[in-house]
Chains A and B, each alone.
Chain A
Amino acid sequence: MTEYFEEPDLSGNRGFQSLREGFYKALFFSFAAATVLTTIGIFLTLFVDALGFFRSYSLVAFLTGLDWSPSLEPVSFGVLPLVFGTLTVTFTAAVIAIPVGTLTAVYLSEYAAARTRAVLKPLLEILAGVPTVVYGFFALVYVTPVIDFFFPGVSTFNVLSASLMVGIMTIPMVSSISEDAMSAVPDSLRQAGYGMGATKYEVTTDIIVPAATSGIVSSYILAISRAIGETMIVTVAMGMQASIPAVKTADVFGLGIPFVHPGEVFLGSGQTMTAAMVQIANSDLAGGTIAYESLFAIGLTLFAITLLMNIVSNVISERYREEY
């Protein structure tokens, strides 16, 4: 150093440095913006091809038709049998996952010792992480024989085994989000409850669960939305027959009471919207045909339903969250 004193640079002009700062900001913004482009991309892809489908097939017939046969002449694209299949699976899965998942969350958040929790939580994560095609394989090869033991004559591909597996798969989804909501309830509320002489059961059911309701409900909606979008389990284990069971009439004291035989719903094969998409994508249909375009019509329906449920779930957890 020859010069001891140097004029300090107070111009604020950092030249190359500010250029670099700007570059990184723009780069990272473009990455974040790419996610919005993904959504737009999904919507446009589905919409354009679905539009092509609805140009040659009426929207009303698609939404109200009772017959789905995309490849057999005469073709028919009534989506209701697929919606029925999806609803059956989703409902059954929810009947399993919601109570079991909620109880699991209660146990993990209120009852379990720290050691138990340290073992159980990773195990539940693994339960959520098993590939769905593996669950489908389990349903087909291991669960169906068990069902056959109780209900002889169940078909190889049946709704029940697939629904049970979807239910098992969605348990961790309910439990992890619900547990987060329950753990977020401040300890002062628990202590207040115990101070009033409440038992652990009363604290749990009367204080914790009501305080965590928004998180619990949004976990239910997310789990249901996941069950609706579940593809591989139902493709592997449920078969490829889109059908709505016949409504029979039971003669009870001269009154005709309509009913649907549960065996026909659960022990036979069925098809969901997602499974129908896989079937069409894997058949030899060329691009541009009406059956191929129907793929995107179902995809759009599915996307709309799940998006709506996700938004509702977010709104519930944001709007009705109890702030402490």
Chain B
Amino acid sequence: MSEHNPDTAFAGVSRLRGRIFGSLAKAASWLGVVVLAWLLFMVVVDAFGLTAASTDWYLGALVGFGAPLATYSAYLYWKRPDLRWIAVRATVIPPAGLIFAGAIFVLFLVFEPFFWFLYYTIAVLPAVAVYGHFATRDDTRAPLAAGFVGVVGLVIGYFVEPLILIMPLPWIMLVWVLVVPAGALIAYRQAPEDRQQQVTILGTGVAGGVLASYLGPALIGVTPDTAVILYAATLLPVAWYNGAVLANDRSAWPGLLGPVVALGAIGGGIVLGGLVGTTGPEPVLDWQFLTSAPSTLPANAGLFPAIVGSVFIIAIVAIVSFVVGVGAAIYLEEYAPQTGVGGTITRIIRVNIANLAGVPSVVYGLLGLGLFVNLIGMGLGIVLVAGLTLSLLILPIVIISAQEAIRSVPEEVREASYGMGATRWQTIREVVLPRAVPGVLTGTILALSRAIGETAPLLMIGAATTVFRPPTGFASQVSAMPLQVFYWSFHQKSAFRELIAPAGVVTLLVVMLSMNVLAIYLRNRYEQQA
């Protein structure tokens, strides 16, 4: 066409092609998420045996569960929108406290309460006291003095420990180690100035702890030690939060009903479902599953040793990868020379870290096998080897995210600090790190949530897929949640593959997702502040 017609000149501009492309892109973005949602739905259905329940059970449970929740939400939404976040926090704190109590419980499985009692009393407490003494006088030698006192305490404790034959009852030691410092912290935060009120809060807190050790066994049948742990990790924070909210605004009490409503909804759902329904669900994932050892019988099978194993491994990974990772990031961002021979070394380290992040995890397993087991001679499949191997695996991720967090601290604040005559280390400790901490924590938690699901490296270092007893120290044989899932996925009995493995998968995913949510929450809070 040689003739130029303005009406057809725009015929080349078709909106159809663009629309198709846009919808295609949209569909593609949701594809992975939808597939994952389907798979998660299937695995949750299996883990809780939801197919066993009849339709009328669902109807009953829906009413029993939904009615209280909907009423409460509607009340908050229309009447008291200002209490929304208070209700959410109040509802989250008790379960979070229970998880925290579980973690403390596991820590006391590793080391006897007496171990904590001794070192807390003669190393940690004096060190904190010395630090406070120096810090209140703005003396810069505070950390040094505290460190010195702490180390001396540790050394004395090491020699004194075998000599002590009489020790207090475990629950008394737990009150001293857990409840007293927690009470002191709350007292200090709630009433920084008022000495009278501080004593009252601390006294009430400790009295509550003593009371819990008597009431716990009587009311819910736990040992006095467990009762004290539950009190310190769950009841005390709940009391603190509720007390603080009420002290601030007495009319905010409806927001604190959140956990009661949630509990009532769950209870109401179960009761009403049971009344109306002919058959209820047959959950595999229940208390028994979480607290029993693996078994050859599907009905008795549990995940407990693997959960404890995972906690042990993650504890090592968290400490090693955080210390080394943040240290390396500080070096690369704050110290590393950029030019000359030093600059070349810096560049090598940077490229190397980027490449390490891409090495398959199974190869790290071989490194752990060759280095820790074969060369150094640590045992096959023990806690320490597993922890160190996974630390090496996530170290590059921790370093890279910590570097980003440190880099995002503006240069001006560093310059200002140097201008005041601060040294490099003082600048890092007082200016850079406090601002970088949220970013560093987010990256570390995300990396840890990856470590908790890693399976291949653990298989390579010879970790057992099934152990029947939780580990007792850093040299004991260990299994982990993903290893146990791996074992069940292959079991020749179909009940293990189709019922027990899903329960393990859901447990693993809940742990992993809560770590992700925590990291995302931290990041959002941090981004809002920045």
Q: Is the CB of B486 within 8 A of A310?
A: no
The distance in angstroms between the C-alpha atoms of A205 and B18, with both chains bound, is 10
Q: Is the CB of B22 within 8 A of A21?
A: no
Chain B residue nearest to A307 in the complex (CB): B355
Q: Given contacts A120-B33, A127-B32, A131-B453, are A295 and B508 in contact (CB under 8 A)?
A: no
The distance in angstroms between the C-alpha atoms of A310 and B356, with both chains bound, is 9
Q: Given contacts A32-B328, A36-B348, are A278 and B356 in contact (CB under 8 A)?
A: no
Residues of A within 8 A of B29 (CB): 103-104, 107-108, 112, 120, 175
Q: Is the CB of B25 within 8 A of A104?
A: yes
Chain B residue nearest to A311 in the complex (CB): B355
Partner of A302, one of B330, B363, B497: B363
The distance in angstroms between the C-alpha atoms of A112 and B18, with both chains bound, is 14
Q: Is the CB of B516 within 8 A of A31?
A: no
Chain A residue nearest to B513 in the complex (CB): A126
A-B contacts, 11 listed (Cβ < 8 Å): A17-B423, A25-B335, A35-B396, A38-B392, A46-B367, A199-B18, A201-B22, A231-B455, A232-B482, A236-B490, A281-B369
Q: Given contacts A103-B29, A104-B29, A171-B32, are A141 and B489 in contact (CB under 8 A)?
A: yes
- Write the nearest CB–CB distance from A256 to chain B, whole angstroms: 40
Q: Is the CB of B359 within 8 A of A306?
A: yes
Partner of B486, one of A38, A228, A232, A311: A232
Q: Is the CB of B456 within 8 A of A35?
A: no
Residues of B within 8 A of A124 (CB): 32-33
Residues of B within 8 A of A103 (CB): 24-25, 28-29
The answer to the question of B361 belonging to the interface, with a C-beta cut-off of 8 Å to chain A, is: yes
**Interface residues of B, count at CB 8 A:** 89
The answer to the question of A324 belonging to the interface, with a C-beta cut-off of 8 Å to chain B, is: no
The answer to the question of A134 belonging to the interface, with a C-beta cut-off of 8 Å to chain B, is: yes
Q: Is the CB of B36 within 8 A of A126?
A: yes
The answer to the question of A130 belonging to the interface, with a C-beta cut-off of 8 Å to chain B, is: yes
Residues of B within 8 A of A127 (CB): 32-33, 36
A sample of 6 more A-B contacts (CB under 8 A), given A32-B332, A295-B366, is A104-B29, A107-B25, A200-B22, A201-B22, A277-B362, A277-B460
Interface residues on A, range: 35 or more
The distance in angstroms between the C-alpha atoms of A27 and B349, with both chains bound, is 15
The distance in angstroms between the C-alpha atoms of A142 and B508, with both chains bound, is 18
Q: Is the CB of A27 within 8 A of B489?
A: no
The answer to the question of B450 belonging to the interface, with a C-beta cut-off of 8 Å to chain A, is: yes
- Write the nearest CB–CB distance from A209 to chain B, whole angstroms: 11
Q: Given contacts A130-B36, A281-B459, are A36 and B349 in contact (CB under 8 A)?
A: yes
List residues of chain B with CB under 8 Å of any chain A CB. 13, 15, 17-18, 21-22, 24-26, 28-33, 35-36, 38-39, 42-43, 323-325, 327-328, 330-332, 335-336, 348-349, 351-356, 358-367, 369-371, 374-375, 392, 395-396, 399, 423-425, 428, 446, 449-450, 452-456, 459-460, 462, 482, 485-486, 489-490, 497-498, 501-502, 505, 508-509, 512-513, 516, 520
Residues of B within 8 A of A91 (CB): none
The contact string, 1 if C-beta is below 8 Å from chain B, for chain A 278-303, is 10011000010000000110010011
The contact string, 1 if C-beta is below 8 Å from chain B, for chain A 139-156, is 011100000000000000
- Write the nearest CB–CB distance from A118 to chain B, whole angstroms: 9
The answer to the question of A229 belonging to the interface, with a C-beta cut-off of 8 Å to chain B, is: yes
Q: Is the CB of B460 within 8 A of A306?
A: no
Q: Which interface residue of B29, B482, B516, B520 has the most chain A CB atoms within 10 A?
A: B29
The distance in angstroms between the C-alpha atoms of A261 and B423, with both chains bound, is 70
The answer to the question of A24 belonging to the interface, with a C-beta cut-off of 8 Å to chain B, is: yes
The answer to the question of A225 belonging to the interface, with a C-beta cut-off of 8 Å to chain B, is: yes
The answer to the question of A269 belonging to the interface, with a C-beta cut-off of 8 Å to chain B, is: no
Chain A residue nearest to B366 in the complex (CB): A299
Residues of A within 8 A of B428 (CB): 24
Q: Is the CB of A99 within 8 A of B28?
A: yes
The distance in angstroms between the C-alpha atoms of A42 and B362, with both chains bound, is 11
Q: Given contacts A36-B349, A141-B497, A307-B355, are A129 and B362 in contact (CB under 8 A)?
A: no
Chain A residue nearest to B325 in the complex (CB): A31
The distance in angstroms between the C-alpha atoms of A108 and B13, with both chains bound, is 24
Q: Is the CB of B354 within 8 A of A278?
A: no
The distance in angstroms between the C-alpha atoms of A41 and B366, with both chains bound, is 10
- Write the nearest CB–CB distance from B421 to chain A, whole angstroms: 10
